[in-house]
Amino acid sequence: MSSAGSSRRRPLLAVALLSCLLLSSCAGAGDPDAPEGESTDGASPSEQSAEEAAAAAEEQRRADAEQAQEAALAGPGQPHQERAAEIVTEYSLAELAGSVLVGEYATTDASAMADLIEELHLGGAIIMGANVPASDGGVDTEELAEELSTLRDVGGEREVPPMISVDQEGGLVTRVGAPLTEWPTPMAYGAAASELGASEQDDPEARGQHDEQDDDPLARSGHRLLATELAELGFTTSFAPNGDVTVGASDPTIGSRSFGSDAASVAALTMESIRGLADGGLAGSVKHFPGHGSVTEDSHQTLPVQSASLEELRTRDWAPFAEAAEAGVPMIMMGHIEVPALEAGVPSSLSAAAYAELRELGHDGVVVTDALNMGAIVQGYGGDQAAVTALEAGADLLLMPADVRGAHIGLVAAVESGELDRSRLEEASERVAALQLWQAELAAGDLAAGPGAQLPEELRSEEAAGDETDPDQAEADGTAGSPAEEAESGSAAETAVQLSESAVTLVAGECEADLGSSGITIVGGSDQDRSRLTQAAEAAGLSVGTGTVVNLVGESSAAGGDVAVALDRPEVLAGADAATQIALYGRTQESFLALAAVLAGAQAPGTLPVEVGELPRGHSAC
């Protein structure tokens, strides 16, 4: 049995233990002075036994339903894999080569890309900023939906639908903006979670208790709502979340795209996030193995070298990926990083040793490369040959080759020449097809989880159970809500507000100080940042143009003024001379509303998810 399968036995074990506790506690709770054959509540032993058995059976039914949900969200099941294998056996070599490629295009006109998908039988396309049509209010969602429909509907009778993908992490990496909900950076989830205090940082027992008890529901609900909006437009896949563990200021690429610097916390939030994406109907991808958060160069420009030992990597960088592999996720992205401890001189995306390590962790789903048009690849490897080398090394899905037609020709030629085994190409194609079949059924509500799925009675929330609508009638007429809808009533906007309010962190200064009574003067940031804070301040009753100097600090701005506010990553506050320092983790309107509230005297509840200078992770001045 795979490790993913073994992890799915754990809910049943937990229920068995709970049932034993229930039985033992009930059996031992009677009054020792009560007459034999009677209990303190007047129930006979036989009645007690029946009640306990019914309770145990109910717990088991609930565990079974939870297990089915978890399996449905984790990725393709055996039926998807078997059907994918049947489909792939019918592919020609040209169709095989196309099925493992995801191409890009440069305009908002998708017709040429659609023709290419049909001609080359491409696995799909990725939507970048240049493909997103604009209107006066931001994104023209109607035009975008039509564009995606053009891509999705290509191929006629093709059973495996094209993958319509996007990089949508929140924060700095947001391809589709307003009127879709704007989300702060992923690091906001790390700041909003109940972090370990400084005294607990090195206490294994305290850390263990924290890891068991602290799964942040915001990460799951936020990613579910993000996915729901994307799915409504026609997207099927988001290359998120980041499982990278950042090392802080020396990490130039990931920064606030990471949940934080603690491997265990990042692992927990990564799993909540990718499950949330699946809840919303999207396939997600944990990225970027073997960990981009602890290298000091950017793979968009050059090839970073990861000099850490395997022991260090397994303890820190690989921990979130190991947990994802064990629990089961649909896809993991392989980054472009040289790891001498695995294979010197070779990017991980082209290294058989790196793919073998990821499989050894237990991942049996798709492995997608990071974009093959990035500097780490194109500077040292031919674009067409890189596609062949990556697939031969162990990749399943090749993302954004520099020339998708050239990559297709290269794959076909490599099989025909014997350089690449056809069986390796078929294996990759089967995994990709299974992923796409699974996502289509998940989005359609045909599995035990996902949008529109019928919620088992055992998992209906108390709120849903108390609703005036009769659940049996709702089930009969098809109006019963999805698991996500019945478990949570918060809208995307409400959840974004909650996340921003929960994340804002007072790094230095006096907690709940009224900093805006004499008004505020806003400096730094972009025009949009200053405009948004102005609106938020006025909504909070603060005058703007005089008084406390609030300096909005970006990635490298000087952190002076009376109040220095880190907009993205908090490490820019290290060495700041402002008396009051605040970490915001985002530039959304909701983020600035949260900031205005703190300036007006509200508490800042967040804690640092990374070290800032000498301040430890988990620090807050409140």
pLDDT at 41: 53
Mean pLDDT of 94-98: 98
Look at residue 206 and tell me whether its pLDDT is greater than 80: no
Structure-model confidence comparison of residues 21 and 137, the more confident one = 137
Look at residue 167 and tell me whether its pLDDT is greater than 90: yes
Single out the residue of 611, 447, 583, 433 nearest to residue 509, CA to CA.
583
**What tokens appear for 568 in the block?**
């993205």
Look at residue 298 and tell me whether its pLDDT is greater than 80: no
pLDDT at 556: 65
Look at residue 464 and tell me whether its pLDDT is greater than 50: no
pLDDT band at 55 (very low <50, low <70, confident <90, very high): confident
Any domain includes 22: no
* Torsions phi, psi for 237 (to 5 deg): -145, 140
Any domain includes 359: no
For residue 546, give its domain range: 496-599
Look at residue 463 and tell me whether its pLDDT is greater than 90: no
Look at residue 601 and tell me whether its pLDDT is greater than 70: yes
Look at residue 131 and tell me whether its pLDDT is greater than 70: yes
Which residues fall within 8 angstroms of residue 302, CB to CB, at 6 or more apart?
Answer: 375, 376, 379
Catalytic residue, chosen from 251, 370, 384, 568, is 370
Listed in order, strand segments (DSSP E) in 258-374 are 283-284, 286-289, 331-334, 338-339, 343-347, 366-369
pLDDT at 35: 47
pLDDT band at 177 (very low <50, low <70, confident <90, very high): very high
Any domain includes 569: yes
Listed in order, strand segments (DSSP E) in 353-395 are 366-369
* Single-letter residue type at 519: G
Any domain includes 590: yes
Max alpha carbon distance in the chain (Å)?
A: 87
Look at residue 430 and tell me whether its pLDDT is greater than 50: yes
pLDDT band at 56 (very low <50, low <70, confident <90, very high): confident
User: Positive or negative, the Cα torsion across 459, 464, 465, 471?
Assistant: negative
Q: Can you give the CATH number for the domain in which 566 is found?
A: 3.40.50.1700
pLDDT at 550: 97
Any domain includes 445: no
Any domain includes 591: yes
pLDDT at 299: 74
Q: Is 370 designated active site? A: yes
pLDDT at 243: 98
> In total, how many domains does the chain have?
1
Mean pLDDT of 158-184: 95
Mean pLDDT of 526-547: 97
Q: Which residues of 464-491 are buried (b: 16+ CB within 10 A; e: fewer)?
A: beeeeeeeeebeeeeebbbbbbbbbeee
Q: Cα angle at 536 between 515 and 519, to 5 degrees? A: 35
Among 66-80, 155-169, 444-458, 467-481, which stretch is predicted with the lowest mean pLDDT? Answer: 467-481
Any domain includes 390: no
**CA torsion, ordered 262, 289, 296, 301, to nearest 10 deg:** -150
pLDDT at 481: 40
Catalytic residue, chosen from 109, 153, 203, 300, is 300
Any domain includes 553: yes
Q: Is 292 designated active site? A: no
Per DSSP, helices labelled H in 193-262 are: 204-213, 217-233
Give percent of the chain with pLDDT exceeding 70.
83
Among 11-20, 68-77, 361-370, 462-471, which stretch is predicted with the lowest mean pLDDT? Answer: 11-20
Q: For residue range 478-490, what is the model confidence (pLDDT) as tens digits?
A: 434 433 333 344 7
pLDDT at 459: 67
pLDDT band at 468 (very low <50, low <70, confident <90, very high): very low
Mean pLDDT of 494-518: 97
Mean pLDDT of 194-199: 42
Evaluate whether 154 touches 117 at the Cβ level (below 8 Å): yes
Evaluate whether 256 touches 568 at the Cβ level (below 8 Å): yes
Cα separation, 601 vs 513, whole angstroms: 5
pTM assigned to the model: 0.85
Look at residue 251 and tell me whether its pLDDT is greater than 70: yes
Look at residue 36 and tell me whether its pLDDT is greater than 70: no
Among 45-59, 112-126, 150-164, 307-321, which stretch is predicted with the lowest mean pLDDT? Answer: 45-59
